[in-house]
Amino acid sequence: MSDITLAAFAAETGGHVVEEPRELRFKRFERGFDAAGFLRSLEERDFRFVGRSSPAFPRLLLELHDPPPGLFLRGAAPPELLTRPAVAIVGARACSSYGAQVARLLGRELAAVGLVVVSGLARGVDGEAHRGALEAGGLTVAVLGCGVDRDYPAGHAQLARRICERGLVVSEFAPGVEPAPWRFPARNRIIAGLAAATVIVEARERSGALITADFALEAGREVFAVPGEITSALSAGTNGLLRLGAVPLTSSADVLEQLGLEAPQAKTPSLGPEASAILTVLAKQPAGADELSRATGLGAAAIATALAELELAGVVAEADGLFRGVMPQQ
């Protein structure tokens, strides 16, 4: 039995197949299946396939009790990318600006030290984590719940293309398979399976990100949760994880420490007096430009100048007119 036959059979029947089925239908399919032709047609579309019996198949993924027959790959990176140390960053699609900014920061910082950032290309936290990794010039892998030929969600088609330039978009489902709600938990198990540690940034009480956390725990991987406000519904899931014993994530150094990696010396950007004053105010809570102006006594022009400086240094981010410090407070 070959891995590719199983994967193709799964696509043909629309089912989720990880072991060779005993049914007659599979035998019939196997007899009529042209594996070489199938691989050729993949190649023509610039897709690749890594079977689980191949040496290039990620070891960590094999450790799952139900590893997929193989992974379809799209993108410029070699399949060995999947065997490099990776961290998954997942969370709510409808995230808050806090969640988005934390996801981007983590993506950026973890990718900057050479870790592969794995996520699910979804809106919200997933997308921001990918973007953060790209911003740092790092490597990132997007795992889809449909064929790799589909850009899902459609709004992230361009993001997927940018990921493919240096990283990979992967799926256990053959090209042509449509996204369906029941395929997402299967996708989440691959995200958790590829990564040595999983970070949940924001999750509601019943969130797909919690499924990813369950898979990670099942596979014996570390699970980090970003603490949130106890009054926010968007943090109910992550705070629940913390109560159950997940490791609270207070900065990217927590992840690096767990993986036995050296955290790079945090270089404090040299800031002017105005910028430092603003940062002090923002350490308490996000604020609009006018509030900052009142709190620091600076004029509107000076505030705008300092805010641009801070944004360029990557320590402040704006959302809906509110500025927020995005460096973790030590």
Partner 1 sequence: MLARTVTHALVGLDARRVDVEAHLQGGIVSAFALVGLADRACSEAKHRVRSGIASAELQWPGGRVTVNLAPAELRKEGSGFDLPIALAILAASRQVPPERVVEHAAVGELGLNGRLRPVGGVLAAAEGARTSGLTKLLCAAECAAEASLAGIEPIAVRHLAEAVAYLRGERDPPPVESANGHGPERPCPDLADVRGQERARRALELAAAGGHNLLLAGPPGIGKTMLAQRLPGILPRLPPDEALEVTRIHSVAGLLPPGRPLVTVPPFRAPHHTASVSAIVGGGPGPKPGEASLAHRGVLFLDELAEFPRNALEALRQPLEDGAIAVARVAGRIVFPARFQLVATMNLCPCGARGDPAAECTCSAARLAAYRDKLSRALLDRFDLLVTVPRPRARELGGEPGEASAAVHARVSAARDRAEGPKLRRAPEADELLSKAVDRLALSARGRARVARVARTAALLAAAEEVRTEHVAEALSFRSPSELGSR
Give bridge partners of residue 200 from the DSSP assignment: 90, 225
Strand, helix or coil for residue 1: coil
Closest approach of partner 1 to the CB of residue 314, in Å: 8
Structure tokens at 161: 């293309």
CB atoms within 10 A of CB 220: 7
Rg (CA), the chain: 22
- What residue has token string 């406000």? 229
Q: Does 93 bind partner 1 (CB under 8 A)?
A: yes
Options 111, 303, 315, 326; binder of partner 1; rule CB under 8 A: 303
**Binding residues with partner 1: total (CB under 8 A):** 30
Residue 188 touches partner 1, criterion: CB under 8 A:
no
- Quick one: which of 240, 244, 199, 238 has its CA closest to 222? 199
Smallest gap from Cβ 302 to partner 1, in A, equals: 8
Q: Does 205 bind partner 1 (CB under 8 A)?
A: no
Any idea which residue has 């956390």 for tokens?
213
Q: Which of residues 101-140 bind partner 1 (CB under 8 A)?
A: 123
Q: How many residues belong to the chain?
A: 330
301 binds partner 1 (CB under 8 A): yes
Residue from 188, 2, 176, 17 nearest 89 by CA: 188
Nearest alpha carbon to residue 121 among 85, 82, 157, 175? 157
Is residue 318 a contact point for partner 1 (CB under 8 A)?
yes
Cβ of residue 180: shortest distance to partner 1, in angstroms?
18
Q: Are strands 222-225 and 247-248 parallel, antiparallel or unpaired?
A: parallel
Residue numbers 32-91 binding partner 1 by CB under 8 A: none
Q: How far is the CB of 97 from partner 1 (least distance, A)?
A: 8
322 counts as binding partner 1 under rule CB under 8 A: yes
CB atoms within 10 A of CB 282: 23
Give dist(CA 325, CA 330) in Å, integer.
13
Q: Which is nearer to partner 1, 159 or 249 (CB)?
A: 159
Examine residue 166 and tell whether it contacts partner 1 (CB under 8 A). no
Question: Which position among 291, 324, 327, 328 is part of the footprint of partner 1 (CB under 8 A)?
Answer: 291
Residue 177 DSSP code: P
309 binds partner 1 (CB under 8 A): yes
Of 194, 306, 315, 326, which lies in the binding site for partner 1, with binding defined by CB under 8 A? Answer: 306
Whichever of 198 and 296 has its CB closer to partner 1, that residue is 296
- Note whether 56 and 83 are within 8 A (CB): yes
Min CB(320)–partner 1 separation in Å: 4
The token duo for 136 is 């740092």
Strand-pair category, 168-171 with 197-200: unpaired
234 binds partner 1 (CB under 8 A): no
What the block records as the tokens of 28 is 């019939």
> Which range of residues in 7-15, 92-100, 140-148, 165-173 is near partner 1 by CB under 8 A?
92-100
| C-beta of 56 vs 302, nearer to partner 1 | 302
| Closest approach of partner 1 to the CB of residue 232, in Å | 10
Q: By CB under 8 A, name the one of 1, 62, 76, 94 that touches partner 1.
A: 94
- Tell me which residues touch partner 1 (CB under 8 A): 93-94, 97, 123, 155, 288-291, 293-294, 299-309, 311-312, 314, 318-322
